[in-house]
């Protein structure tokens, strides 16, 4: 039986662990499958289950790196904002992660739920992935950088016009235990009415 204290500890010790902090070893695919299974149990209004995932690992990471760098180059060359350093980062940085999971939000045909609720459900799924990573000693973080907000990137991740790419989860074996997190007191953010 899971105790309330174990849940408190899991939530509080969850940390974002970034690529530079990974050893380069591979995370077991079975743990990644468990993360996705747990993601699938996130709350979802009207059971639309809007989360979609594309998991990149091994050669797949190279394909992701090339695709995102190409998309970046095409879009930014057209609008005049291209930066070589950014392009090189998009090409090289993915190799530091064991797995990269693209996070998509799929709109249901009837649009029965407001978009903000669908995005909320997907971020709940992301939290389940984060917590599963913590429980397994896996480094994990959500990135909303790179091509996340490029319309032109959606197709590569199997998303349509109405859907949204919401970011990328990076996974790796952490070199060391992450430092303690910091938060301001919850008392500053809560009003009780009784």
Quick check: 145 binds ligand FMN (CB under 6 A)? yes
What one-character-per-residue DSSP string does 37-93 give? HHHTTS--GGG---EEEEEEETHHHHHHHHHHHHHHHHHHHHHT---HHHHHHHHHG
Please give the residues from 122 up to 141 whose contact with ligand FMN meets the rule CB under 6 A.
141
- Tokens encoding 144: 């909303």
160 binds ligand FMN (CB under 6 A): no
Residue of 136, 114, 132 lying closest to 169 (CA atoms)? 132
CA 54 to chain centre: 10
Nearer to ligand FMN, 137 or 181 (CB): 181
User: Which of 142, 150, 174, 175 forms a contact with ligand FMN (CB under 6 A)?
Assistant: 142
Least distance from C-beta 145 to ligand FMN, angstroms? 4
Residue among 13, 16, 57, 76 that touches ligand FMN (CB under 6 A):
16
Binding-site member from 143, 150, 173, 175 for ligand FMN (CB under 6 A): 143
Take residue 189 and report the two structure tokens written for it: 């953010």
**Residues near ligand FMN, by CB under 6 A:** 15-16, 141-145, 167, 181
């Amino acid at each position: 039986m899971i105790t309330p204290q174990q849940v408190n500890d899991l939530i509080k010790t969850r940390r974002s662990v970034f690529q530079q902090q990974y050893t380069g070893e591979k995370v077991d695919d079975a743990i990644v499958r468990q993360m996705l299974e747990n993601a699938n149990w996130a709350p979802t209004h009207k059971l639309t289950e809007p989360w979609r995932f594309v998991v990149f690992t091994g050669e797949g990471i190279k394909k992701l790196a090339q695709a995102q760098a190409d998309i970046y180059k095409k879009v930014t060359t057209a609008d005049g904002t291209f930066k070589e350093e950014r392009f090189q980062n998009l090409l090289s940085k993915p190799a530091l992660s064991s797995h990269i999971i693209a996070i998509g939000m799929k709109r249901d045909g009837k649009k029965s739920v407001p978009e903000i609720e669908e995005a909320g459900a997907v971020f709940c799924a992301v939290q389940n992935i984060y917590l599963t990573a913590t429980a397994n000693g896996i480094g994990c973080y959500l990135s909303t950088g790179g091509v996340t907000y490029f319309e032109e990137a959606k197709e590569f991740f199997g998303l349509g016009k109405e859907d949204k790419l919401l970011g990328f989860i990076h996974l790796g074996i952490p070199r060391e235990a992450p430092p303690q997190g910091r938060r301001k007191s919850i008392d500053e953010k809560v009003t009780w009415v009784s």
